[in-house]
Structure 1
Amino acid sequence: MLPGQPHVNFRQFSGYINVDSNAGRSLFYYFVEAENDPLNQPLTIWLSGGPGCSSVGDSFIGVGPFITTNNAHGLKRNLHAWNKVSNVLFIDSPVGSGWSYSNTRSDYEIGDSSTNDDLLAFLLEWFEKYPIFKYRDLYIGGTGYAGHFVPNFAKTLLHHNNETKSCDFNLKGLALGNPVLRLKLDILAEHELYASKGMIPKKLFRQILKHCFGIGEDNYSDNVAPWSESCQRPMRKSVMFAFNVTSVADAKQRQVDFHRTPCDGKIEDLISGKDVTKIIDQVDMCIPFRTDFYFNIPAVQKVFHGNRTSSRYPWMGCCPHSGLHYSLSDKDIDMLPTLKQILRLSIPVTIFSGDEDGVIPVIGTLKHVKTLAKDMNLNLTKNEAWHHENKEGGWLYSYGDLLTLMRLEFAGMRSFGIDLSGFPCIFPRHAFIVLLALLGRLPRRDRLI
């Protein structure tokens, strides 16, 4: 049991899987069995974005079985945990995320391909360790830059099945939260959102469009040059103007949730055992702050079997001190072709996007989904509100039977890193409803209507 953990009726495991013994490269994982009948429940793999955010840490913020107590010295049950309906495997990927590491310095110069290779090596080895879960229905989900990780990994698993003439990976669906799919268009959508909400003058948005190339949905290219200074200057002005602050760093703290201010807790209060909370509209904005504290408790690291390198740096959910350098060109890769290949193999893709998120706004994601549907000749089959607990939860767009976008009202991404590429956690109640929908187990009273 983890320190301060309440009693539960499910098992949990953690540790390392070596993905390259010669290089000394290992990925850390946390595996939680389903609460009920785990041997007959599916397996869901969760990958956080960043790149560089910890999926294991993410499990204590939104989708895992626990969240920290208000003083961060213990744990309490997460009522919206995904292991209510699935076994869940959280993988710290790529190397440099969470407690995943390599003894070879060059392994920290990484990109989409090397990350994907490590994930495949990890899962093949993990199934050797847990063979009873090998042929279970498999789902893969994640947020932010997992818009790259998840489709790439799914494509690789499907290719592996085809090459080996086997069904080693029984892939059944993908779930992507506020995903990075076309990064430069996602960035432009951020400023379009500010203009549409009256947070910046429309004239300023037109300046951004003028200086930031003529790219759009119909001519997006992986080879677009980096933003010029004449483009970045009005972007910086835009984000500071939108949140009425004097620095870009302060603005980026507000981007993750328009109407909820970040946690302003002090580490000294947690050390002394005081409660640190900031609840705004039912969301405690201090959960990530408390999670970072909990993961740095020596007894927690010992029970987790984590930090076996005895790093001198504190554990951080995002923006770690590992020296991770991710390929800038890979971040610009267009992910729609990969999603198209997956959909053509009849693998459903569900995208959920919080409408209070300014990092990867739903206004841009909806355009990507429409472009993908048009390219695949998928007709809009549902365009309607959906409800949860007798309240409108958002809007549902379905294209055929395979591609779905769920817009989530009053939901924003929460993180205390400032990496532009993505953030790890969406409001857990909404995320839980998404997983229920993905598994086809949405309760009748919460059904999509």
Structure 2
Amino acid sequence: MKAIKMAKAQIFLHTLPLFLVITLNLSPLVVTSPQQEEAHDRITALPGQPKVSFQQFSGYVTVNQAVGRALFYWLTEATTLPLSKPLVVWLNGGPGCSSVAYGASEEIGPFRINRTASGLHLNKFSWNSVANLLFLETPAGVGFSYSNRSADLLDTGDRRTAKDSLAFLIRWLERFPRYKGREVYITGESYAGHYVPQLAREIMIYNSKSKHPINLKGIMVGNAVTDNYYDNLGTVTYWWSHAMISDKTYRQLINTCDFRRQKESDECESLYSYAMDQEFGNIDQYNIYAPPCNNSDGSTTTRQTIRLPHRPHKILRQISGYDPCTEKYAEIYYNRPDVQKALHANITKIPYMWTACSELLNRNWNDTDVSVLPIYRQMIAGGLRVWVFSGDVDSVVPVTATRYSLAQLKLTTKIPWYPWYVKKQVGGWTEVYEGLTFATVRGAGHEVPLFKPRAALQLFKSFLRGEPLPRS
């Protein structure tokens, strides 16, 4: 078991392989001033979009001119008084999955895609009610982001992702100078449990040398890949404690598998395969209590190709997806030429379809931190606000994995464990440590804002205020 290889993944392979066609791209349109660049990126309206009061921008920022590597972003400004609100960067994981597909379109963004993919409707729990949201598709090869050097997609990983994301943010702030000096928070989920702290570390290093530092105030991650050993131990423990596997299989996994290894033994892999094939049953591992999806033909599930948590590269699994099908709607909507034109996306006319996740990137992820806990220590020492949350019915990066990992920090408790509330109901449980707040979200799966949008918005508001979650 290794760091999560595909969080919430749905892979559709279209036309030519990406690595064969990527060299056909051209550089994006070059404009001459920040004002012109901003005007060029302004979204007038998306097809089928309801009328809104806030401004939107999207487009490309080149992060490596020499090889033509460019990252795609989508900014949805705050609904009221955007100049007084912080900038919140959202990253999805995978590795290889799109923040447009997930964060923007089914979690925290202002719009949801209609079932027919003919248009959009409003998300009343959007996080842009209290912040300016910047969705970044990173690294190159994810979503609309691209590189003109095909080798980039066959040799990428944590380090390049962090450095390119920093380059993006520096250059994006040049394009949008009104955000310079604004409070910045970095958020995300799943494998972004690597991206978020790694980007924070790059910003801290940059700030130590720059005359114009980025005003980074904190980070928040959900169901986050954190430490290989403790994540893996916590995942197997969750499976057993939630009756997904037998006592015998649990004991065999604990006694046979070396969770610290980059690649498990054949015997260990056989145990995992047995557990998932024979004992899990037909469940959605991202929310173990959610009913299976119903297809239009009456069959019970939508099967998706996914790489399971912390597993060696070549092990693939078929599991049920979420309700029929937020990703399908995204696949249809974001491949529409009129939508791409409105988003200023795919301006180089790459000859392959936009997908929610890139299997090519995921399969060729060549460097990953064994643990990001050392970065947590650096962030805490640097005075950043650090919040970690877990949807408690996710079995992919479960709450036990996060608790085991965070326990290694050996932080002093500031406010002991207590239930927090939203609309007079227990939203979850939380404990505040010196330097870090941990919270669970009751009944939420891997994508917390998808399953519990009201509770997720309350969590986000408390995080921005730097206040403990409400006790009543």
TM-score, scaled to structure 2: 0.80
Distance (whole Å) between structure 2 residues aligned to residue 310 and residue 19 of structure 1: 19
Contact 1:355 1:410 in 2 (8 A): yes
Distance (whole Å) between structure 1 residues aligned to residue 254 and residue 179 of structure 2: 49
Instruction: Please name the residue that 1:367 is paired with.
Output: 404
Which of residues 423, 432, 436 in structure 2 aligns to 1:403? 436
SS for the counterpart of 2:397 is coil
Give the paired residue count: 402
Shift of 1:404: 1.0
Distance (whole Å) between structure 2 residues aligned to residue 135 and residue 186 of structure 1: 36
Instruction: Please name the residue that 2:124 is paired with.
Output: 79
Which of residues 459, 464, 468 in structure 2 aligns to 1:434? 459
Instruction: Please name the residue that 2:385 is paired with.
Output: 348
Shift of 1:323: 7.8
Instruction: Please name the residue that 1:151 is paired with.
Output: 197
Higher mean C-alpha displacement, 389-398 vs 428-437: 428-437
Instruction: Please name the residue that 2:16 is paired with.
Output: none
Contact 2:294 2:324 in 1 (8 A): no
Distance (whole Å) between structure 1 residues aligned to residue 370 and residue 128 of structure 2: 32
Contact 1:56 1:92 in 2 (8 A): yes
Shift of 1:314: 2.4
Is 1:226 paired with 2:256?
A: no
Change (3 A) 1:225 1:15: closer
Deviations 1:170-209 (A, max 9, x none): 1111110100001343233222112112221111011011
Where do residues 380-395 of structure 1 align in structure 2 (5 Å cutoff)? 380-395=414-429
Change (3 A) 1:263 1:291: farther
Distance (whole Å) between structure 1 residues aligned to residue 226 and residue 451 of structure 2: 17
Change (3 A) 1:51 1:323: closer
The CA RMSD over aligned residues, in Å, is: 2.3
Instruction: Please name the residue that 1:218 is paired with.
Output: none
Instruction: Please name the residue that 1:66 is paired with.
Output: 111
Change (3 A) 1:297 1:424: farther
Instruction: Please name the residue that 1:271 is paired with.
Output: none
Higher mean C-alpha displacement, 336-345 vs 310-319: 310-319
Q: Which amino acid aligns with 1:46?
A: W
Instruction: Please name the residue that 1:418 is paired with.
Output: none
Contact 2:95 2:361 in 1 (8 A): no
Is 1:131 paired with 2:167?
A: no
Contact 1:4 1:75 in 2 (8 A): yes
Shift of 1:426: 5.8
Q: Which amino acid aligns with 1:398?
A: V
Contact 1:61 1:291 in 2 (8 A): no
Higher mean C-alpha displacement, 32-41 vs 185-194: 185-194
Contact 1:143 1:178 in 2 (8 A): yes
SS for the counterpart of 1:413 is coil
Distance (whole Å) between structure 1 residues aligned to residue 95 and residue 450 of structure 2: 14
Contact 2:96 2:362 in 1 (8 A): no
SS for the counterpart of 2:465 is coil
Contact 2:234 2:404 in 1 (8 A): no
SS for the counterpart of 2:408 is helix
Unaligned runs of 5+ in 1: 216-220, 246-250, 268-282, 415-422
Change (3 A) 1:308 1:426: farther
Shift of 1:406: 0.8
SS for the counterpart of 2:225 is coil
Change (3 A) 1:364 1:322: closer
Instruction: Please name the residue that 1:46 is paired with.
Output: 90
SS for the counterpart of 2:253 is helix
Instruction: Please name the residue that 2:14 is paired with.
Output: none
Q: Which amino acid aligns with 1:36?
A: T
Instruction: Please name the residue that 2:30 is paired with.
Output: none
Instruction: Please name the residue that 1:117 is paired with.
Output: 163
Where do residues 179-328 of structure 1 align in structure 2 (5 Å cutoff)? 179-213=224-258, 224-245=261-282, 254-265=284-295, 286-320=325-359, 325-327=364-366
Q: Which amino acid aligns with 1:256?
A: Y
Shift of 1:408: 0.8
Distance (whole Å) between structure 1 residues aligned to residue 172 and residue 471 of structure 2: 35
Contact 1:262 1:286 in 2 (8 A): no
Shift of 1:285: 5.8
Shift of 1:236: 1.5
Identity of aligned residues (%): 36
Where do residues 411-430 of structure 1 align in structure 2 (5 Å cutoff)? 411-413=444-446, 427-430=452-455
Shift of 1:397: 1.3
Deviations 1:99-145 (A, max 9, x none): 10101011111111111111111111101100100110110000011
Distance (whole Å) between structure 2 residues aligned to residue 323 and residue 358 of structure 1: 20
Distance (whole Å) between structure 2 residues aligned to residue 241 and residue 25 of structure 1: 44
